Amino acid sequence: MVNRRSFLKTSLAGCAATLLPKFSLAKTTDGVLELTAQKGQARLYGEDGGLSDLWLYNGKLPGPEIRVKRGERVRVRFRNQLDEPTSVHWHGIRIDNAMDGVAGLTQAPVEPGESFDYDFIAPDAGTYWYHAHTMSWNQVPRGLAGPLIVEEDEQLFDLERDITLMLSDWRLDEDGTLETASFGAMHDFSHAGRLGNWLTINGVSMPEIPLQQGRWHRIRLINSSASRVLDLAPSRFGAKVIALDGQPFETPRDMDGTLQLAPAQRMDLVMRPGETGDIPFETMTGKPFTFATFKVGDGKGDDLPLKQPAINRLPEPDLEAAWEIPLLMAGGAMGGMRSMMDGRTREELNQMMQDGLFWVLNGKAGMGDEPMFKASRGDTILIESRNDTAFAHAMHLHGHHFRVLERNGKNLEHPDWRDTFTTVPEETVKIAFVADNPGKWLLHCHMLGHAASGMTTWFEVA
């Protein structure tokens, strides 16, 4: 993260803290939520920054919070009022394939002026989000993202103390508005992706987040950034982790040190502040940088006892019978291109780069006509990934959650469920899941420029 000092080349004064705004809720008519992608504006750099031209859901940054109960039917009438096609993906939901929102794979893109009805069941409680899934490298970092919260059967936290924080990284110009000239820059695609120089929480710069002394809070973190991996240290403000990517642990965990929240990942925290006062919320990349402040005020009402959300019933992989699939990530700048040479001539490689393809999965750049594998419903798939590139990646599997079993040949103490896993250069990671959801599903890097320049493949469950 470029911090405020290095970002400020002009004379922008420090911006005043803003109270965290309440999420708007999606409007409903007869139980159908109305969601419209449209142009809009927001101040990303506080009062002193200019107004940025953005693409928003219902004119809001982030999009409205959609909250449903576990097992509830979600009906969304989606309208596209942008000048380009789009579609909506419900990230992390084990969804009906036809509702997955992947233009070109599960549906036709929604053209300007057109609409599409999404209709699905949210089977698992937890913290999820939705975002554009057509040219997402361009649409998500212009604002097309919002939270999707699936509540447990039983209400565990007072609603005022159940707080969603969508963390977004922006590349701002010197006047504090969204920098747009570099969208789609090949340099970003072939390196770490489009990284920003400023962070907002729920669309606001440096917010104050009100908490209550002596009361349990649930804090739901969502990283909606195009490429930025956030280094966070919940233990520095006394929080425990209770869930990752929507899936709760058996018990809350004290996790010391720095935890990574990669693009698309979620982390649910619980905390009960002991005293009133200010607590900084920092990113830990380089020097700790405070990008929000928890303002602890007096406790109100009863403190609900801390209860761990119930485990979602996900199908358990059968490792004995697993089908092993290698996933070799190669390509990218800083020496990674060499690893793409395999089976290619220099001319072919040059042609790929001219076509904006810098990354391969198992030697292939992009989707292709054939799936990476075809599973029968119920097969356990064990993916052994190896990162032969010079960059970190955040790999997302659609329609399923998987257990992360091993890193570099070592069994993990907690083989947590996730829908997006991170991997650093030279690392091997083993994940396993039951392919129980029929349809065509993506597996791609959630660093959106990487996904657009080769790191996207798909598989089919028959």
**Listed residue (268, 271, 215) closest to 242, CA to CA:** 268
Least distance (Å) from ligand C2O to the CB of residue 78? 16
271 and 240 Cβ atoms separated by less than 8 Å: yes
442 is in the binding site of which of Cu ion, ligand C2O, none (Cβ under 5 to 8 A by kind)? ligand C2O
115 and 37 Cβ atoms separated by less than 8 Å: no
Return residues touching ligand C2O (CB under 6 A): 89, 91, 131, 133, 264, 396, 398, 442, 444, 446
Nearer to ligand C2O, 49 or 85 (CB): 85
Least distance (Å) from ligand C2O to the CB of residue 443? 9
Least distance (Å) from ligand C2O to the CB of residue 264? 5
Strand ranges across the sheet with 374-375: 374-375, 456-461, 439-445, 393-397, 420-423
133 is in the binding site of which of ligand C2O, Cu ion, none (Cβ under 5 to 8 A by kind)? ligand C2O
Whether omega before 273 lies within 30 degrees of 0, making that bond cis, reads: no
266 is in the binding site of which of Cu ion, ligand C2O, none (Cβ under 5 to 8 A by kind)? none
Contact pattern from residue 377 through residue 396 relative to Cu ion, giving x for each residue in contact according to CB under 5 A and a dash for the rest: ----------------x---
91 is in the binding site of which of ligand C2O, Cu ion, none (Cβ under 5 to 8 A by kind)? ligand C2O
Nearer to ligand C2O, 267 or 390 (CB): 267
Task: State how far the alpha carbon of 63 is from the alpha carbons of 40, 59, 193, 352, in Å.
Answer: 11, 7, 23, 36
Nearer to ligand C2O, 239 or 435 (CB): 435
418 is in the binding site of which of ligand C2O, Cu ion, none (Cβ under 5 to 8 A by kind)? none
Strand ranges across the sheet with 207-212: 18-19, 207-212, 289-297, 277-283
Least distance (Å) from ligand C2O to the CB of residue 448? 9
Which residue's beta carbon is nearest to the bound ligand C2O? 91
Nearer to Cu ion, 164 or 385 (CB): 385
458 and 399 Cβ atoms separated by less than 8 Å: no
> What is the radius of gyration, based on Cα positions, of the chain?
21
Nearer to ligand C2O, 77 or 133 (CB): 133
Q: Coil, helix or strand for 171? A: coil
Cβ atoms within 10 A of the Cβ of 122, count? 24
Task: Please select the residue that binds Cu ion; options are 42, 102, 269, 445, rule is CB under 5 A.
Answer: 445
Least distance (Å) from ligand C2O to the CB of residue 142? 15
89 is in the binding site of which of Cu ion, ligand C2O, none (Cβ under 5 to 8 A by kind)? ligand C2O
218 is in the binding site of which of ligand C2O, Cu ion, none (Cβ under 5 to 8 A by kind)? none
Q: Coil, helix or strand for 94? A: coil
Q: Coil, helix or strand for 449? A: helix
Task: Please select the residue that binds Cu ion; options are 430, 450, 452, 454, rule is CB under 5 A.
Answer: 450
Nearer to ligand C2O, 430 or 446 (CB): 446
The partner residues of 69 in beta bridges, in order of sequence, read: 151
Helix (H), strand (E) at residue 210: strand 207-212
Least distance (Å) from Cu ion to the CB of residue 367? 16
**Listed residue (104, 108, 117, 171) closest to 143, CA to CA:** 171
Q: How far is residue 266's CA from residue 127's CA, in Å, rounded to a whole number?
A: 7
What phi and psi, each to the nearest 5 degrees, are found at residue 234? -60, -30
398 is in the binding site of which of Cu ion, ligand C2O, none (Cβ under 5 to 8 A by kind)? ligand C2O
Residues engaged in binding Cu ion (CB under 5 A)? 393, 445, 447, 450
